[in-house]
Amino acid sequence: MPIEWNQNFINEWTAFIQAYAAQFDGNPNIYSIQMAGWGYIGEMALPDAQTSTITEWNDAGYTDQNYETGMKSVLSAYVNAFHITPLNVDITEPLGSSSHVLDGSSGMLSYIWDTYPHKVYMQQNGLQANYYTSPSTEPYYKDITNAAAYTTSGFQMYGGQGNLNTQTGDRLEAFEAAVCAGVSYVEVYDSDIAQSSLQSDLDFLATKNANGAVSFSCPSD
């Protein structure tokens, strides 16, 4: 993949974003635009973040500051191009525990909240039962919970039937965690939606997420 903070890449990606917006901004069939451009997938993830690959990224010039500089340029390009359709950033640490892009008062979360309040949605693509049973071990759960005060926030499920099903865990517990986090939406895999045994869990999510009423105990840190 391109080096995310390389200016040539930023220039070409900005041109793509402008063309992208010209065709899709304001399309009533699109809920939001995932802002790709700072990882090998739509999330803030650099590929194969293992020890040997991290060394290669460092040799290529990776620093948290360089990554943040590139990310800010891409964010600006999206915000300047899309004037109607909401945008969302899918948060994760680009190199796992070896990077610290999201953290602290000078991290990217604070930057996004301060610079683009209510303009940029915040999403995390890892909702699972652990977010309800062990929230203190899931830092992204806390990030999304905090984001609700600044913007629209949401989750994508970690997996579904046939794809990380076991790791995702009990769907009702995952949905309860999402409701307690105050998110506005949850993206559920169609393989789960088609599963008749999960219908009552999906009904719970639809009802609770719509009216905001919580009649169960939320997890504590």
Domain that holds residue 3: 1-116
Contact between residue 184 and residue 178 where contact means Cβ atoms under 8 Å apart: no
Residues 171 and 67 in one domain: no
The pLDDT value given to residue 221: 63
Q: What is the mean pLDDT of residues 141-158?
A: 93
Cβ atoms of 129 and 135 closer than 8 Å: no
Residue 35 sits in the same domain as residue 15: yes
Q: Residue 23 pLDDT more than 90?
A: yes
- Predicted pLDDT of residue 142: 92
Q: Are residues 55 and 106 in the same domain?
A: yes
pLDDT for position 170: 97
Residue 192 to residue 196: CA distance in whole angstroms: 8
Whether residue 131 lies inside any domain: the answer is yes
**Sign of the Cα pseudo-torsion (170, 172, 173, 178, in order):** positive
Flag whether pLDDT at 58 surpasses 60. yes
- In this prediction, residue 78 has a pLDDT band, given cuts at 50, 70 and 90, of very high
Residue 212 has pLDDT above 60, yes or no: no
Query: 66: pLDDT confidence band, cut at 50, 70 and 90?
Result: very high
218 assigned to some structural domain: no
Q: Is 63 helix (H, G, I), strand (E, B) or coil?
A: coil
Whether 1 and 99 map to the same domain: the answer is yes
pLDDT of residue 54: 87
Instruction: Write down the H helix ranges in the chain.
Output: 7-24, 51-59, 64-81, 108-115, 130-133, 139-147, 165-168, 171-181, 190-193, 199-211
17 plus 59 within the same structural domain: yes
Same domain? 97 vs 199: no
Contact 46, 39 (CB under 8 A): yes
Per-residue confidence band for 207, with pLDDT thresholds at 50, 70 and 90? confident
